[in-house]
Amino acid sequence: AVVLVTGANGYIPIWTVSSFLSRGYSVRGTVRSSAKGDHLLQYFSEYAKEGGKDRVKLELVVVEDITKEGAFDEAVKGVDGIAHMASPFHENVDDPEEFIRPAVQGTLTLLRSAQAHAGPQLKRVVITSSCAAVITIQPTARTFSELDWNEQSIDEVKAQGRAAAPMTKYRASKTLAERAALEWFKERNGTLGWDVTWVNPPFVFGPAIHEIPGNKPENLNTSLKAWYDFVLDTKNPKGRDALGDAHVLALEKEAAGGERIIVTAGAYVWQEWLDIANAVAPSIPKGYPDILAGGPEYKVTYDTAKERRVLGVGYRTKEQTVKDTLADFKVRGW
Ligand code: NDP
């Protein structure tokens, strides 16, 4: 089987490419320029050249502008499944449309290309949404589920425009993209021959295998940079392939069709990462261990019953994630 992974060079996408390849799927990845694909082809060179074990192959297609109508027409041809992951997630944003347009239009462009050009073998499109499209920021602790939608960020962006925080713009873009795809799909459900699944993870941590420009921590993707800043940055003392696997399972499990699924190993407070990191490497800033004296109090928790019932992802513990991530950072000389 062949799957298309969009934005294949990103932090989570490259782990997802890895999950698909190791489970015997050939992967066609999209990148915005051929230079952005060099690291992928090198990292998976065994698959990129001859095809790996059982002729499992990685190939890349350049899709410069995912918002352009027909952008994915060629890329979708002949694929059995699609993981749509390309979407902006950084802090360098002024006009909210810089996030909203690629998130919403990029997704609709992909869906339309899939409908018109993928072919009858296509079974499912898995869209990487986010808990950003689920949670609302509030003063009291709360458990969120797939029934919750983040209207709050959309309202804030409407009210504040460019002045809204980058994360608010990001959250609005993910909510609007998920909803646009849901509406598109509902209008055509039953006529397509394939269905859509949304995977909604919160912040994802763990080692990086994607290209980090200049090998500098400041160029990390947003979630891992937040982890680095919190745990390692001495000036600031205060999931990885599990998610790749979640995308494979979301494509494979019959019951995932049409579903929105929150995928998370569990809650954390930042101090927990510091405590665990200190047990591994005592040179790391201590933070404020006292705040965990009565056990961690989680403001945001998720009901993961659906994930466990439908997908059954195997997660790493926080301890393992810390060890693996610090080992990765050490190799990089950080
Ligand atoms: P990365 O920034 O590492 O990857 C983002 C990918 O999307 C890259 O391939 C990037 O391409 C591409 N992209 C960004 N902006 C555009 C654009 N305007 N047009 C076309 N492609 C674009 O981030 P992540 O791996 O974290 O994100 C991958 C997906 O996972 C996203 O959909 C994100 O919303 C989602 N997600 C991430 C979470 C996390 O904690 N990391 C949590 C929940 C969801 P390029 O390299 O060329 O910029």
| Structural domains for the chain | 2-228+239-267 (3.40.50.720)
Note the pLDDT of residue 91. 93
In angstroms, what is the span from residue 141 Cα to ligand 1's centroid? 29
Q: Which of 4, 6, 12, 268 to mutate to test the pocket of ligand 1 (most atoms within 8 A of CB)?
A: 12
Cβ contact 85:12 at 8 Å = yes
Instruction: Count the helix, strand and coil residues of the chain and give each as a percent rounded to the nearest 5.
Output: 45, 10, 40
In angstroms, what is the span from residue 98 Cα to ligand 1's centroid? 13
3-state secondary structure of 312: coil
Note the pLDDT tens digit of each residue in 75-134.
999 999 999 999 999 999 999 999 999 999 999 999 999 999 999 999 999 999 999 999
DSSP notation for 92-153: --SSTHHHHHHHHHHHHHHHHHIIIII-TT--EEEEE--GGGT----SS-EEE-TT---HHH
DSSP notation for 20-57: HHHTT-EEEEEESSGGGGHHHHHHTHHHHTT-SGGG--
Helix residue ranges, H only, 161-260: 166-188, 222-231, 240-252
Residue whose C-alpha is closest to residue 224's, from 70, 74, 15, 53? 15
Cβ contact 201:223 at 8 Å = no
The atom number, within ligand 1, closest to the CA of 86 reads 7
Note the pLDDT of residue 308. 97
In angstroms, what is the span from residue 217 Cα to ligand 1's centroid? 17
Q: For ligand 1, atom 7, which residue shows the shortest CA distance?
A: 86
Cβ-based neighbours of 323, under 8 Å, separated by 6 or more: 280
In angstroms, what is the span from residue 86 Cα to ligand 1's centroid? 5
In angstroms, what is the span from residue 90 Cα to ligand 1's centroid? 8
Note the pLDDT of residue 51. 65
Residue whose C-alpha is closest to residue 176's, from 148, 149, 143, 137? 149
Cβ contact 116:72 at 8 Å = no
Q: Which of 60, 87, 175 to mutate to test the pocket of ligand 1 (most atoms within 8 A of CB)?
A: 87
Structure token pair of residue 222: 């947003």
Q: For ligand 1, atom 14, which residue shows the shortest CA distance?
A: 88
The atom number, within ligand 1, closest to the CA of 203 reads 40
In angstroms, what is the span from residue 290 Cα to ligand 1's centroid? 36
Angstrom distance (rounded) from CA 30 to CA 7: 5
Q: Tokens 């569990």 belong to which residue? A: 266
Chain centroid to CA 105: 18
In angstroms, what is the span from residue 280 Cα to ligand 1's centroid? 30
Residues with CB under 6 A from ligand 1: 7, 9-13, 32, 36, 66, 85-89, 102, 106, 128, 130, 174, 201, 203-204, 210, 221, 223
Helices and strands (H, E) in the chain, number of each type: 11, 9
Cβ contact 188:196 at 8 Å = no
For 284, which DSSP code?
Answer: S
- Residue 83 — φ and ψ, nearest 5°? -115, 110
Note the pLDDT of residue 240. 46
The atom number, within ligand 1, closest to the CA of 6 reads 9
* Other CB atoms within 10 A of residue 138 CB: 10
Q: Tokens 């993209």 belong to which residue? A: 177
The low-confidence residues of the chain, meaning pLDDT below 50, are 237-240
* Other CB atoms within 10 A of residue 28 CB: 23
Structure token pair of residue 319: 């301890």
In angstroms, what is the span from residue 89 Cα to ligand 1's centroid? 5
With residue 196 as reference, give the H or E element that holds it.
strand 195-200
Note the pLDDT of residue 54. 72
DSSP notation for 136-188: ---SS-EEE-TT---HHHHHHHHHHGGGS-HHHHHHHHHHHHHHHHHHHHHHH
In angstroms, what is the span from residue 279 Cα to ligand 1's centroid? 32
